Amino acid sequence: IPLLRRALAMSKRPLLLFASPWTAPAWMKSNGDVRGKGTLKGKAGDKYHKTWANYFIKFLDEYAKHNVTFWAVTAQNEPLAGLFTPPQAPTIAFTAAQQRDFIAQDLGPALARSAHRTRLLTLDDQRIHLPHWAKVVLGNATAARYVAGLAVHWYLDAIVPPGCSLEATHKLFPDHFLLYTEACTGFFMFR
C-alpha cells in the first residue's frame, strides 16, 4: 500500500490498477492446499463459490480503507495453468465453463452489489485459448453483462497468430476489450 500510494502520488495521470488472484484458501480447494492442481470445492452458486466471490469484495474493501481503488479484477490468474502447474505453484484450476458459471452466479453479482465500480476481466491466461474462452464465457448473456473485457498473457503468442485469436475474438465480441495483463522477457530459457 505505501508503494502504491507513492506511485499514485508521482503519476501525472490516474493509474488504473487491476488485481488477479492466484489461489483461494486451502479449505476452499478440492486438493486442500493452496498449491497444486485443485479447483474450488463444489459448484457455482454454492457456499464455497459465494465465499470466494466475497473474498474479492473484502479485498477491495480493505484497499479502499487506504484510498487505493482498483480499476479491474480478473476472475483468476491463469485458470488453465492450474491443470498443468508444478505442485508447488499456488493456483485454482477453472475451465471456461466453470469460470462462466462462477462469474454469472457468484462473482459478477457480488461485484455488482458492492460499492466498488471495479470492472471484471475474464481469461487472464494465454491467448491460445481465444476465441474459445470468449465464446463460452461471453456467449452466456448473464456472464457477459458482468465482464468488461478479456485479460490475455503473451507467453505462447508465437504459436497462435493474432488474427486467429485476438482479431477473431474482437469480431465476435466487439463490445468487450482485450488487454495484455502479463508478460515478461526471459520466459523461454533458450531465447
Return the active site residues. 78, 182
CA dist 29 and 50 (Å) reads: 13
* Phi, psi (rounded to 5 degrees) for 122: -115, 170
Return the C-alpha cell found at 65: 480503507
Rg, Å, the chain Cα set: 17
Contact 98, 46 (CB under 8 A): no
Q: How far is CA 179 from the centre of its chain?
A: 12
CA dist 37 and 104 (Å) reads: 24
Return the C-alpha cell found at 157: 503468442
Stated as kind and residue range, the H or E segment containing 62 is: helix 47-64
- Residue 68's region, left for phi above 0, alpha for psi from -120 to 50, else beta, is beta
